[in-house]
Structure 1
Amino acid sequence: MKTILISDDNDNIREILVNYFRNEGYRVDEARDGQETLYYFDNNGYDIILLDVMMPLIDGFEVCKTIRRTSNVPIIMITARGEDYDRIMGLEIGADDYIVKPFLLEEVHARVKAILRRMNPQDTHNSLKYSNLFISLDDYTVRIDSKPVSLTKKEIEILWTLANHPNQVFTRDLLLDSVWGIDYFGDSRTVDAHIKRLRAKLTDFNTKNWNVATVWGVGYKFEVNQHEV
């Protein structure tokens, strides 16, 4: 079980994050200010820390700098301040990632999982669940509301690639490289054909919380439609 410390002085946001990550199987501790955050850090071990910037007593930047004196535990800073200066400062003092409010819970979770995979490359996962969608690369199956969806191998790999990075836009060339491999020299329009068939097969299922969306002139993304905080 992965352990996570969630630090935010906003009771509502902290409660939503805590409940979400507990439901996802994490052991969660929560802190309401910078001083409490350092107390938990000094007395417990964590796999990752979600750290708000604007907190009372000690702000998130100072907390991050203090933690970095003794630990390389991954830190994702979360803040309402989205200016480039703040992002750069957070990364320069040792944060691993930076998320601006409002955010999607699934996006935060995707960032957490990506960092944990980098920290533990041997910890590979061949299944993915989002809302009512389940994808397994162990047996190449897809289920929506526990009902099987008949997809080809390439359609499953496209859906996996997109769903594994919620709201991230993939160009056709990037999807070609990710799914077909960098040595594939086919036309990028083959991506459009596979996406078209994939969407057609999904129309009979409940996809109200997510969809495979077109970003005109760019490519495609797995668009999530709920849990905005």
Structure 2
Amino acid sequence: MAFEVLVVEDQKDISGIVEKYLEKSGYIVTVAENGFKALEIFGEKPFRLVILDVMMPGIDGFEVLSELRKFSNIPVLMLTAKESEVDRIKGFDLGADDYVVKPFSPRELVRRVDAIIRRTYGQNEEKRLKAGEIEIYLDSMRAFIGGKEIELTTAEFSILFVFMENENVVLSREQIIQKSFGHSYEGMDRNIDSYIKRLRQKIEDNPRSPEYIVTKYGAGYLFRRKEV
């Protein structure tokens, strides 16, 4: 079961980034562009966490949090540009569970969300990543394409995980080795090419014309999702 998260943020560039990173980590995300909309749709889905911007037009995040606390104990992570201790204390006094100050690291935000979910729901759900039709489960090291499981070796799974964690980023062979196997790897850099060739045979519709793992000549490889 994937957890539903409500993101309340009036700046589309920020909400877009948050949505992308949360969905990549397996969450189902709904975005509300203001506090009024958030309160309107709150009961429409089984939300398990709210990411709530403080500075919004019409009704600010503190007011939204105050209204939510009248009928729900859902965990709330406040997202704000305010840095003063007074504002943080106000949020906690109203019932916020955590605070992230802009500008923020999307990866840190996801980790904080993970921590709140584990703490609140005691969930033991397996961590997963999804990109297009590809979905991988980290603890069991299982991989699926379009819902059909594919068999990967440990090395292939590690490389695929690194690619999916670094979507749309060109990685050199050396970077792939370091991120996948660490500094103890004793193979040759060109061995990565063989791993990637076998990986393409398992995940690509046409390995000779790959859509997921693309070669960037002179630089390395890039992973991108194939939209479905």
TM-score by length of 1: 0.57
What does the per-residue CA deviation read over 1:59-100, in whole Å, with 9 as the maximum and x for residues that have no partner? x634x5564456693437xxxxxxxxxxxxx44xxxx32xxx
- Give the conservation status (yes or no) of the 8 Å contact 1:48–1:75: yes
- Quick check: 1:132–1:144 contact (8 Å CA) kept in 2? yes
Per the alignment, do residues 39 and 175 of structure 1 end up closer, same or farther by CA in structure 2, a change over 3 Å counting? same
- The answer to whether structure 1 residue 40 and structure 2 residue 57 are counterparts is no
Give the SS at the match of 1:217.
Answer: coil
Distance 1:114 1:29 in 2: 13
**Change over 3 Å in CA distance of 1:183–1:131 after alignment to 2:** same
Q: Matches of 2:48 and 2:169 in 1, distance apart?
A: 24
> Shift in Å at residue 25 of structure 1?
6.6
Query: Cα offset for 1:154?
Result: 0.9
Distance 2:47 2:173 in 1: 34
Which amino acid in 1 is paired with 2:98?
Answer: V
Partner-residue secondary structure (3-state), 1:195: helix
Max radius of gyration: which structure?
Answer: 2
| 2:110 alignment counterpart | 113
Please give the secondary structure, in 2, of the residue aligned with 1:48.
strand
Aligned residues: 182
Name the counterpart of 1:27: 49
Identity of aligned residues (%): 20
Q: Deviations over 1:14-33 (max 9, x none)?
A: 8x959951499753466782
Aligned to 2:156: 155
- What's the RMSD between the two structures over aligned residues? 4.4
CA 1:139–1:213 in structure 2 vs 1: closer, same or farther (change >3 Å)? same
Q: CA deviation at 1:177?
A: 1.9
Paired residues of 1:4 and 1:47 also in contact (CA < 8 A): no
1:134 aligns with 2:135: yes
1:212–1:220 Cα contact (<8 Å) kept: yes
Q: Which segments of 5 or more consecutive residues in structure 1 lack a partner in the other structure?
A: 52-59, 77-89, 98-107
Please name the residue that 2:98 is paired with: 73
Structure 1 residue 5 displacement after superposition: 4.3
Question: Which of 9, 18, 34 matches 1:7?
Answer: 9
Q: Which residue of 1 aligns with 2:81?
A: 61
- Which amino acid letter does the alignment assign opposite residue 154 of structure 1? A
Residue identity in the other structure for 2:64: Y
Matched, 1:175 2:170: no
SS in 2 for 1:148: strand
